[in-house]
Homo-oligomer: A and B are copies of this chain.
Amino acid sequence: MSFDLQLEKVKQVEGILKETDTDLWLVWVRETSQMADPVLELIYGGSFVWQSALMFPSNGKPLAIVGDFDVDATKATGLFDGVIPYTKSIKDVLIKELNRLGPSKIAINFSRNDVAADGLSHGMYLILKDYLADSDFKSRLISAETVVSKLRGRKTATEIERIKKAVQITESIFEEARRFVKVGMTELEIYNKFHKAVAQHDVGFAWGEDHNPAVDAGPYKQFGHSGPTVNTVKKGHLLHFDFGVKYQDYCSDLQRMFFFGNPEDVPDEVQNAFETVRDAIQAAADWIRPGAVGYEVDTIAREFVKERGYEEYQHALGHQVGRQAHDGGTLLGPRWERYGATPMGVVEVGNVFTLELYVTTEHYGQVSLEEDILITRKSCEFLSRPQKELICIP
């Protein structure tokens, strides 16, 4: 196994710790084959059996304290300058290393806002508090939310290459779908064809394969997370896809709209809806830049569709994409309670976001698109080729 990608990520850590004024980042885990902190695959790539402490100081080299049985595998990654073993209890060696480093702030992985930064279990938190009870460190624990969010969000060159490839493969499969999708097929038949194509391209699914792709035929189906049904595709109807693949652990996430009929048969109602969605996404893409706050970007698109007379979409405009289709961190979303503080996050260079939204027509159901973008130094670039016209299947 190669740990080159993990090394790219670990190299980002020290700078982020300095930037966020964090003395020490402590990744505190156990039995990770059963439940793994989501940052672990980013910075380690293996698993730990016993209680393990991965320590990243802002002014020093990363080190790991791990159980005897995990020592060889941890050393083999080459990610840690020091690998310190223990046999019966980690407590004494953990305290010793903390005393040596003397951090006044210790960031640990809990977060109300971001599941990707919330990998510490409550039981492991209690154990850490127990271990630190007689030391000054017990009152120095802070959330690593910002650290994890920046680390996860700032995609490295390798990560960007993999996401691009995932997007390309997704687009190839949509191209194939232009040919195999026909009037009279059920959602399930179409879904099965996509699964065959995914296997042929030898990639995985960006999210649960029971609703990937989402295939929504006709006007009566609410887009969401339910699987394909026996609804059939009919002439004059729309067909919606939400589809993403996983290429070498990295995801794509795209929505496309097909119409069954010739371009000149597209009803005005549908065409207006399509153009509104397409142009709202473009408006947000034109506006987004490093330093923008998440909810500001959402507002651009949300106001756009409202000004066109549509009801606002009931979700966020965009989420980050990476190892997960929903990769955590800053959200391009409205300030609704269920999104916590994530819409207050800041857009950074190297972030990959979706731009996605729907509007609802009176007679043809929802019209929804989704593109993937990469934040560049002054603006953004599309990783997907944005859908500019309805894909018409005569």
Contacts and interface: CB of A to CB of B under 8 A. Distances in A.
Interface of A: 1, 30-31, 33-38, 46-47, 49-51, 67-70, 72-73, 76, 87-91, 110-127, 130, 207-208, 210-211, 224-227, 314, 324-326, 328, 336-338
A328 B226 contact: no
A225 B113 CA distance: 35
10 contacts: A34-B328, A46-B210, A72-B226, A88-B336, A112-B126, A112-B130, A117-B123, A118-B124, A122-B124, A122-B125
Contact of A337 (B68, B69, B89, B207): B89
A127 B110 CA distance: 11
Contacts of A30: 115
A227 B1 CA distance: 11
A124 B37 CA distance: 14
A35 B118 contact: yes
Contacts of A76: 226
Given A34-B115, A88-B338, A337-B88, A47 B208 contact: yes
Contact of A37 (B35, B51, B89, B112): B35
Given A120-B122, A123-B111, A34 B338 contact: no
Contacts of A120: 121-123
A31 B111 CA distance: 13
Contacts of A33: 207-208, 324-326
Given A33-B326, A89-B337, 17 more contacts: A31-B115, A33-B325, A34-B38, A34-B328, A35-B35, A35-B37, A35-B118, A46-B210, A68-B224, A68-B314, A73-B210, A88-B337, A89-B336, A114-B123, A118-B122, A120-B121, A122-B125
Nearest to A76: B226
B50 A338 contact: yes
A170 B225 CA distance: 37
Contacts of A126: 110, 112
Nearest to A70: B225
A225 B49 contact: yes
B118 A121 contact: yes
A328 B33 CA distance: 12
Given A88-B336, A88-B338, A122-B122, A326 B50 contact: no
Nearest to A114: B123
Contact of A1 (B31, B37, B210, B225): B210
A326 B118 contact: no
Contacts of A90: 338
A168 to B, nearest CB: 23
A73 B226 CA distance: 6
Contacts of A46: 208, 210
Contacts of A35: 35-38, 115, 118-119
Nearest to A118: B123
Contacts of A67: 338
A55 to B, nearest CB: 18
Contacts of A70: 225
Residue from the set A46, A88, A123, A324 with the largest chain B CB neighbour count within 10 Å: A123
